Every structure is written in C-alpha cells, then in structure tokens.
Structure 1
C-alpha cells in the first residue's frame, strides 16, 4: 500500500493557515546559516581535540561538493560519526560541550525524542511548523547520525535491518500518538490518504504505547549497533533507513577532508559514490524551484 499525499505539502498548508507562521526573510535565512556554520565549526574543533571525527553527510556534504558551502535554500547541517566516536561523544559531552550546547541522544543520560543524536545551541530559539515535539528544545541544532557496521551474512543482515526499520516505525507512531498536535492531525486528515496515514499510526501508536517513545528509540539504537567489524556500513537512522544506506566500509573510511566555506571538515573517502547512492547520478544538477524544500517559522532568535 502506498500513500500518495505529500507530507511537505501538508506542513506548508499548516503554515499558510497559521497566522503566526511565515517564511524566513533573506536576512534571517543568512543569519541562521551563519549561526549553524559557526556552531558546526566550534563543535567540530572540540571533537578533534577529543579524538572524535565528525564528518559531513547528506545535504551538507552535497552543499560542500556542489556549492562550496550551504545549498543556497538549505538551513540545516548534517553530520555522521563512526559508532565508536558516537559512543565516546555521549560520555564526554557534559564535560566538553555543555557550556554552550544541549544533547539529545538515545541510550544516554540526556532525554531523547529522536532516533539519532541532535546537538542544540543554548540561548537560541527556532520554532518551525511541523516540529511540535515537547521533548526537544526549540533551539538551533545540528543532526549527527551514527554509522554502524552491517552483518555480511545476508540473512542476519536482513533480520537486523527489518527489526530496526520496524522499531523505528513503532517509535515514530508512539511519538506521534503522544505528541502530535490536533491541528496537524486535522490537516493530515483532509485527504483520503492522510486519514489512512493517521489511522494506521494511531493504531500502532496505541498498541505499542506500553513503552515510551524514548525507550523505543533506545531499542532502535541498540538494534543497529553491530559490534563486529565488517566490509559494510549503514546509516540506519538516515533518510533511506537501514537497507537504503548500506555502503562498502571503504566508501567512508578512512575519512578525507573537504572545504565547507572557510573550514575543512572530515568527509567520506569516496563522496561521489555516497552522493550517487543518496541523490542519484545527477546529484550535481541544481533542482527546479518546486523541488526545493522550504521551512516556515513561528519564532527565531539567534
């Protein structure tokens, strides 16, 4: 069964009906990108100091390759960490980063409401339409995805991948059931597919609500953490989930470096292969305006 409604369109519709929501001005957009860049440089330098390698992935890596920095209409930063660095980051965060930042991450002392690590900058405010999770700070943040080894055996790999994807779906359904606003439910329910989307997620969210969404995200993190070294890695919590982001380990490691604005960040060893897998062979082509993401805000303070 395939649901045909566009979730982005639903959020845009929400924004258009909310008198407090608006698009960012050009000045605000540039200020946000500057804030994200300076934040990322500072965090990356602190990571290097502690022997942790934070590397560019997703749209941030694409921006570095295609534009030398941010994708012009983008306003976030995506990073990856090898699992060993990811676990070390949890342990040292309070000592090395908590003066300026807050952490949200599964299986850590810090409360989590997502399947991967997010680092928020204290003293900032960023409220966007569609992000109504009360467990997350309403602050400027970067995303950090763990990169885990993948079993080389086909059957074990399939089992772990299916288990991880199922747990992620359950966790998101339980989170929606606990936190989704009635306004968002109402707009999702305006279409036939949207109603089905809500109905399915409410059923799953209710059935599995015996465990909190935070605990479900902890389970996801434990499932994807494969301790045996192998020739394959995945970003199981990324945009294409477990099976969609499996690459040869040599695609990423050992890491290389790439310029993003004036700073040199770590990056996957073969960024071409990675970007082709994520965005297709024409990843260097700038998409048409209608295919570019837009975000609507209700409050911003940098």
Structure 2
C-alpha cells in the first residue's frame, strides 16, 4: 500500500465530498458544509492549511434517508454507520474502503479515510437545557474516545497519564452504550418540532452549535477548493458561536491535525 501525502489525502477527500454531494443532489437531500470545513471555506476558501478532514451535516430526516438509500455493495466509497453495519459511531461516515490508517492517538485499527456526515437535531429554547444536552453528550463522547486511546500518547503529560486511569473504566462502559446514550440525548428534541437546531451527536463546540431552524433551512453557497458548496444562511453567527473571532488565525500551538497516516491500495 502507498502512503499518501497530506495534499493527496485532501484530494481524495474532495473526491469523496463530490460523490456524496452528487448523491444527495440526485435524491433531494440537503448536505451542507459545517464545522472546520465551513470555517476553511469562509476564511481560506478551502481547507484550513493544517486541517485534514471534511465535515458535512444534514437534517436528521435527510440523514436517515441517506443511510437507507446509499448502496454500499461493490462501491469504493461506502457509508459506515451503526444503522448500516454496526460501526460504533453516533453519526455516519463516507469512507474509502481501499484505504487504511494509523492515527497517533487512536488504537482503532479499522479506520478508513473518511468524510464525517453529522445529523442535525432539534434543541431546546431554554439555554440551560441546551447546555445540559451538550454536557451529557460530552461525557459519553469522552468515554467513547478513551476506549480507543493509545496509552502513553497525549498532547500533554497530564493527558498521557490520565488515560492509564480512565481507559479501563471507559472499556467497561463500552462503545455501544456510549453511542446509544449520545443518540438518545440527541433525539430528545424532534427536529421538525423545534425552533432551534444543531449538531448534537458530534457537537464538540457545545451551545455554540445552536442555530435558528428557519435560518439553518435557508441554503447559500460558499467557495471551497475552487468549487461552490452549500451551507446554511446563518454561517456567520454559527462560526462566531463556536470560534468567536473566527477570521483570526489561532496561535501555532493550537493548529493541530488528526495526526493520521493514510495508506491507499492502488
């Protein structure tokens, strides 16, 4: 297998993004840039220079239709999700099955090069209740990632040693339990009946993820790596909510990648 350069990784991810967008367009499903990918589109008109993945989001109903409609058999690009094949994520991924990966901080040996597909769920109107939703999800998300965490690896010495204490506890809880709890929490507020919505199952930014549904459902197009891709009309308030002054570059010590090595079977 051939090791891909960072630029080759990004080119392959762009191919995957276009495959996903074409499928969603053909089936009238909304698929929108979100998170760091959206930030890259606005600030850099492409990938954040030190970033190495792509995130999209979909209303929960469209997300569920995608999982049912997308044909995996014989396809180079496949949908991985708990609903399809028991993969333990609270969201879906489009993956290139001809790749394998080694990630510095993870022991997940079955990881493939991916595009994250994140469902958008309803959120409460009361901000304290919103905080509670994200707080509970964050707990189970941390437990989940600890299960695959590599012992002796970490961005700080404290985190390295803390893994030795917490990983056995996380393994007792188990991935499936963590994933089910996150999905249960995200499903407490129905998308269709909510005034506010946001990415919950992978909502690492907390309450800053929340958007007015009326604004989220208005689509605009932004430039990303020389092409136009859809996102939601409230992208400015969304990016401000999760990054604050999002046009200012972070200090160099915070410009972190996933630390992944990707290998392609030609």
TM-score range (shorter-chain normalised) is 0.7 to 0.9
State the Cα deviation string for residues 17-57 of structure 1 (Å, max 9, x = none): xxxxxxx9xx8111111111111011111111011111001
Mark the CA change 1:287 to 1:152 in structure 2 (over 3 Å): closer, same or farther: closer
Mark the CA change 1:123 to 1:216 in structure 2 (over 3 Å): closer, same or farther: same
Could you tell me whether the CA contact under 8 Å between 2:104 and 2:153 is conserved in 1? no
TM-score, normalised relative to structure 2:
0.84
Higher mean displacement: 252-261 or 76-85: 252-261
- 1:245 and 2:209 equivalent? yes
Mark the CA change 1:261 to 1:175 in structure 2 (over 3 Å): closer, same or farther: closer
User: What is residue 55 of structure 1 aligned with on the other side?
Assistant: 32
2:199 aligned to which of 225, 230, 235:
235
Could you tell me whether the CA contact under 8 Å between 1:115 and 1:168 is conserved in 2? no
1:262 aligned to which of 226, 229, 234:
226
| Distance in 2 separating the partners of 1:72 and 1:53 | 27
2:105 aligned to which of 130, 134, 137:
130
| Distance in 1 separating the partners of 2:74 and 2:32 | 21
- Count, aligned residues: 260
Higher mean displacement: 188-197 or 41-50: 188-197
Q: Equivalent residues in 2 for 1:31-110 (5 A)? A: 31-94=8-71, 99-106=75-82, 108-110=83-85
Per-residue deviation, 1:86? 0.9
Q: Equivalent residues in 2 for 1:1-302 (5 A)? A: 28-94=5-71, 99-106=75-82, 108-134=83-109, 137-152=110-125, 157=129, 162=132, 165-166=135-136, 168-170=138-140, 172-173=142-143, 176-177=146-147, 179-180=148-149, 184-187=150-153, 191-192=157-158, 194-196=160-162, 198-200=164-166, 202-203=168-169, 205-206=171-172, 209=173, 212-225=174-187, 226-227=189-190, 228-236=192-200, 237-241=202-206, 243-281=207-245, 283-301=246-264
| Distance in 2 separating the partners of 1:138 and 1:192 | 26
| Distance in 1 separating the partners of 2:125 and 2:44 | 36
Could you tell me whether the CA contact under 8 Å between 1:170 and 1:204 is conserved in 2? no
State the Cα deviation string for residues 143-173 of structure 1 (Å, max 9, x = none): 1111111133567x35xx6366435523642
Aligned-partner SS, 2:117: strand
Gaps of 5+ in 2: none
State the Cα deviation string for residues 157-216 of structure 1 (Å, max 9, x = none): 35xx63664355236425634x44xxx32345994564345424533553xx3xx41243
Mark the CA change 1:220 to 1:288 in structure 2 (over 3 Å): closer, same or farther: closer
| Distance in 2 separating the partners of 1:254 and 1:271 | 10
| Distance in 1 separating the partners of 2:42 and 2:117 | 19
| Distance in 2 separating the partners of 1:189 and 1:196 | 12
| Distance in 1 separating the partners of 2:36 and 2:155 | 30
Mark the CA change 1:252 to 1:286 in structure 2 (over 3 Å): closer, same or farther: same
TM-score, normalised relative to structure 1:
0.75
For the aligned residue pairs, the C-alpha RMSD in angstroms reads 2.9
Per-residue deviation, 1:278? 1.2
Could you tell me whether the CA contact under 8 Å between 1:81 and 1:146 is conserved in 2? yes
State the Cα deviation string for residues 226-258 of structure 1 (Å, max 9, x = none): 2252221121122223x3422222342222122
| Distance in 1 separating the partners of 2:178 and 2:6 | 34
Mark the CA change 1:280 to 1:122 in structure 2 (over 3 Å): closer, same or farther: same
